[in-house]
Structure 1
Amino acid sequence: MSELRFDDVTVRYGSGRRATTAVDGVRLVVPPGQVVGLVGESGSGKSTLARAAVGLVPVHSGRVLLDGEPVARRRRGPSPVQMVFQDPASSLDPRMTVGESIAEAVPHRTGGGAAALRAEVARLLTLVHLDPDRAGAYPGQLSGGQRQRVAIARALAARPRLVVADEITSALDVSIQGAVLNLVRELQRDLGLTVLFISHNLAVVRYVATQVAVLHHGRVVEQGTTAQVLGEPRHDYTRSLLAAVPAPLTSTEPVSTEPVSTEPASTRSTT
């Protein structure tokens, strides 16, 4: 289990007068073995912060630290921070089988040869509740939920110390969103994963997260335990997000119906 820390992180796009600040001085800690939910409307900077955590966008100032050490893009070997993206159809190579995609992420210099690699792929597929026989299938032969499970298995194949989940249910059919969320909770519990879980959906975050941080215009405006932030919000922006939810967020049952978005349908998009 590892701790992820954003230490006064700022991310900017462009330069000069045309520069846009997407993330502005964020201070946030994802404690070891915890799930921290990062919420906010589209354009709030959630996905930019996620990409900064895995080195996909450069940090203008501040530091991203894993167990006190800077998280840097590695030229060799898998990163200790792995990301699961929103759309599994675009994050998996359609020309590679499920087994090949997962095997590609497994640290190969661990010994054991091809047989050990096949066994590891089978173990990972079983871990995400997929039949190991699906290793020979291509992404296009799978449902959206199955592809997202493969994407999760691929992230776990790298043996990460922390996983960033960026809107991982928003591209899925309503009927299977709950199953994927249950899988996230199960994996976090059984593997002791540290997870930064990003979503615009408060019902989803309330179900999986132990702590919540609210991002608004690139800044964290409120953070605390899930019960505190969603039960007794202090910031006006947090209250406005909660006001957009038509039903109370009180259930602790597995999510099996459509989670409620914090944004009007006409303005929803991916940050």
Structure 2
Amino acid sequence: MTVVSAFLVPGSPLPQLRPDVAPWGRLACAMRAAGAALAASRPDCVLVYSTQWMAVLDQLWITRARSIGLHVDENWHEFGELPFDIASDAPLAQACVQACATAGVHARGVDYDGFPVDTGTIAASTMMGFGGTSLPTVIAANNLYHDGAQTEALGRLAAECAGRQGKRVAVLGIGGLSNSMFREPVELEQDRIISEADDAWNRRILDMMEAGDAAGLRDQIPHYAREARADMGFKHFYWVLGALDGRLQGARVLEYAPLYGSGGAVVEMMAN
């Protein structure tokens, strides 16, 4: 068995930076619980896709052995800094680059000191506890020209590369649900999903995940992306679905809460 666990988690830094705010604190607790479940599955590495690492020309993969730095989120800089220390499974990342070429996808590795790792990847690795050298990652960029189907194919490709190397992997899709935020100041403790329509869509999609309704999700996600502005077309879900070879046995929603009007959820997907 290659994929031993799989998760969807939000890419917002708010649960890490301000866990004292009640809804964000609940998400922080759920992120830690997801991290414990990930560790318990005993993976050799984590396959990571974040909607916030955007690429245009090529499909990028981090091939640098270790990325260390201090990050300030471009939106929530007033709440503090985000130190990070992330190790990469460079041989597996290189294999993914080569497999992309075979599949006709332009790809290259990223191996630069000080390369700007995105907020979502930093927050997830820190809160879920796989930073440092404890557990290496393979991090794939969100190519803006790739749709859900192409992203699903990349998730499948990464899992297949891991299988050929005999590695057990956890799969992580980092991104949000509905993606409309308040544009005016609101009391943080009064945070809520910005509209009833967005909330209804989020709950519908989460219910379908729990039911393992992959066919229904494929049908509804385009509508969800259009009507609730789902984060980057919900491509982080397609990444996980691809790694699971298109099969969804069910899911467990660990938490669902607002993130300054947008929707965030921590979801553990059934990997077998």
Fold-level similarity (TM above 0.5): no
Structure with greater strand share of residues: 2
Instruction: Return the structure number with greater relative CO, CA threshold 8 A, min gap 6.
Output: 2
Give the alignment's TM-score, normalised by structure 1: 0.33
Give the alignment's TM-score, normalised by structure 2: 0.33
